[in-house]
Amino acid sequence: MNEPHLLVQLLVLLAITAAGLALFERLRLPSIAGFLVVGAVAGPGGLELVETNESVRALAEIGVVFLLFEIGLELPLERLRALWRTALLAGGAQVVLTVAVVAAGARALGLEPASALVLGGVVSMSSTALAMRLLVAGGTVDAPQGRLAVAILLLQDLAIVPFLLAIPLLGDAGGSLAHVAAVVGRMALALVAMLLVVRGVVPRVLDRAARLRSPDLFSLLALLVVLGSAVAAEMLGLTLAVGAFLAGVAATASPYSHQLFSEVVPLRGVLIGVFFTAVGMLFEPAALLAQPGAVAAYLAVAVGAKGLLIALVAAPLAREHLRTGVLTAAALAQTGEFSFVLADAARAAGALDPSLHQVVIAGSILSLLATPFLVRAAPALADRLTGRAPRDAASAPTAHGGERAADAAPEERAVVIGFGHAGRTIARTLRSLGIDYVVVESNASAVEAARERGEPIHYGDATRPVVLAHLGVARAKLVAVAISDPLATRRIVSRIHAFAPHTPVLARVRYVKEIELLEDAGARAIVAEEYEAALELVARVLAFFAVPSAAVRSFTDALREEGYDALRGNAGVPIDPWLVELLEQVDTSWVDVPADFAPTSLAVLGVRARTGVSVLAVERVGSAMPNPPPGFEIRGGDRLLVLGDAPALARLEALLAAPAA
């Protein structure tokens, strides 16, 4: 095929992929199923809009590489440590028993051992993307069924690697024992070599790229790491997907994993859509009509048998009730993205018959389409099975659960963007107060130095929505943007506002002209260095003219609360009179007695007669004396709560500073 024709084919393929996504998103159905269905309709077995050819399939295979790299990169080690027992018991039982039951049934129906085992592995996998989307939408990720589902999905994600490694062995199942042993030995050596290379090379490459502070270079190296690791693994006798997975796991040891993830995800999303659309093109509708019984049997096993194993075996092993097991089974009762990866790899290796491959594609599409309806029906079914009264609509999870979650109370934590002097000061203050926080910084050297001190800091570009998601911006009580680049500050504030509109953003700017731009971008509060310097100068000037410090604080605080509006107006117009009145009004104020003040009673000092203020209370070493009598002795270090106007407070401060006068 010549290049222009290939480009036309790719253009049509991308258009079909986008159409499938848009249609199924509108119908609130799984996007993966949309890619598959539209691919089947547009492919050679349907309207023949696109020819299936090796070039397009090669491009689609790159999507699988990126998917496995993401799985390795995002392998949640902290969650895995928290859920390892559940993942090992419940997830391990689900995968092993599903493979065993399906393989035994397939053998009974006359399938070859290799095909039977492949079919068991295909059915044992669920769709992580679909299940997590449904759990998030229903607001049940942290519910018992959500935690159990996440644990099982973690085990399934880990199981994909040995499954992929086993595919070549199943393809050579007819060989001698010595041949199989030699293949296993080569694969083991290749796996060890690949692990050593990626663990030693990937973090160092990312570190060198980050230190050069070139976003373009980092993006190119991110692509090189993904594809290079995949190709290296294939050259060593492994598969592309296994190499990408190992590279992702190695990259998690680097402080640059968040930024690397943000570089990979956008491209991965496009390629995964192309992959599933291309898989759909492999489906021949005539095969469904020719083997309806086989497709129905596959669907019954993938949904029914696997669901029963999860509800009746996996859930009890995790010490969960039957109700939790039923709800978890509904979310995982389908075959997903890794099922297609395994099936395609097995077909290419000769371990899966082409007609059976068609059954897998057709049954998987139907199972993905059925899952949202199963999840909606699961609560009522669980109530019926456990003898509970059905819950009312107000308490049941709904499709708008994500909105409810967004309205939930934020976590008591802050996200600090930038780790310069301002960012370090914020982090130090939060740490001193025991407030949780996380920092993101784009300077690799600063990140490394801060990590050595134990700071919860990540390397990344905060203008990337994926980085913001990993920082938990949507759940934070505050995001403080403490960088000095005005353009980057606006971009970050805008992205945060679009990604998490309910999260307050405090931004730092240098010049006055940047305030309105940040307000339009979505900043909730703004600290302007130019204005803060002006306010400090004003405070110092007023102090020279004996204006009480309490009145000055009220004046400057009011200016800040008004967003510096009084200072942003026409310089020829006087400041608003109500602000000026703050410097003159009669109000209660705290006045500190100098530490070297000689003990003197209120009567001898003549506070009221000489200053015009009234002493309402005296605070000393944590205790207070309200309405002190004239004979009460004032000492150094006391705090006086007084009532008076600005000139009276100024006279009192002067009196306390020079009592002998």
Q: Which has the minimum average pLDDT: 371-385, 393-407, 416-430?
A: 393-407
Tell which residue, 467, 525, 454, 456, has the closest CA to residue 499: 467
Average pLDDT for 465-491: 83
Indicate the Cα dihedral angle 399, 401, 402, 406, nearest 10°: 150
What is the spatial distance between Cα 320 and Cα 335, in angstroms, rounded to a whole number? 23
Q: Which helix (H) or strand (E) holds 366?
A: helix 354-386
Residue 380's pLDDT is what? 85
Average pLDDT for 357-381: 86
Q: Which helix (H) or strand (E) holds 113?
A: helix 113-124
Report which of residues 476 and 247 the model is more confident about: 476
Q: Which residue has the tokens 């003219």?
A: 545
What is the spatial distance between Cα 284 and Cα 279, in angstroms, rounded to a whole number? 11
Residue 422's pLDDT is what? 83
Report which of residues 75 and 616 the model is more confident about: 616
Residue 100's pLDDT is what? 92
Q: Which has the minimum average pLDDT: 298-302, 442-446, 626-630?
A: 442-446
Give per-residue pLDDT as tens, 572-626: 455 656 566 556 555 677 888 998 888 888 888 888 888 888 888 899 887 888 8
Report which of residues 584 and 648 the model is more confident about: 648
Average pLDDT for 540-561: 70
3-state helix/strand/coil string of 324-344: HHHHHHHHHCCCCHHHHHHHH
What is the spatial distance between Cα 546 and Cα 646, in angstroms, rounded to a whole number? 9
Report which of residues 561 and 380 the model is more confident about: 380
Percent of the chain with pLDDT over 70: 77
Residues with Cβ within 8 Å of residue 188, at least 6 apart in sequence: none
Question: Is residue 197's pLDDT more than 80?
Answer: no
Quote the tokens at residue 74. Answer: 């995002």
Q: Which has the minimum average pLDDT: 54-58, 185-189, 403-407, 477-481?
A: 403-407
Q: Which helix (H) or strand (E) holds 619?
A: strand 614-620
Which pairs count as long-range contacts for 109-113, CB under 8 Å and 24+ apart, including other chains? 111/356, 112/173, 113/173
Average pLDDT for 127-131: 79
How many CB atoms neighbour CB 540 within 10 A? 10
Q: Which helix (H) or strand (E) holds 198?
A: helix 177-211
Report which of residues 97 and 410 the model is more confident about: 97
Tell which residue, 535, 536, 508, has the closest CA to residue 523: 508
pTM above 0.75, yes or no: no
Average pLDDT for 230-239: 75
Give per-residue pLDDT as tens, 2-32: 444 667 777 777 788 788 778 877 777 777 7
On whether the CB atoms of residues 482 and 418 are closer than 8 A, the answer is yes
What average pLDDT is seen over the chain?
77
Question: Is residue 460's pLDDT more than 70?
Answer: yes
What is the spatial distance between Cα 479 and Cα 431, in angstroms, rounded to a whole number? 15
Residue 393's pLDDT is what? 38
pLDDT band, very low/low/confident/very high, at 395 (cuts 50, 70, 90):
very low
Q: Which has the minimum average pLDDT: 175-179, 218-222, 518-522, 634-638?
A: 175-179
Q: Supply φ then ψ for residue 658, to 5 degrees.
A: -140, 70
Question: Is residue 405's pLDDT more than 60?
Answer: no
Average pLDDT for 548-562: 70
Residue type at position 525: A
Q: Which helix (H) or strand (E) holds 448?
A: helix 444-452
pLDDT band, very low/low/confident/very high, at 561 (cuts 50, 70, 90):
low
Give per-residue pLDDT as tens, 250-300: 776 666 666 666 666 666 667 677 777 777 777 777 777 788 888 889 999
Average pLDDT for 332-353: 83
Which pairs count as long-range contacts for 116-122, CB under 8 Å and 24+ apart, including other chains? 117/166, 117/170, 118/167, 118/170, 118/342, 118/343, 118/346, 118/351, 118/352, 119/352, 119/356, 119/360, 121/163, 121/166, 121/342, 122/335, 122/339, 122/342, 122/343, 122/346, 122/360
pLDDT band, very low/low/confident/very high, at 98 (cuts 50, 70, 90):
very high
Report which of residues 300 and 150 the model is more confident about: 300
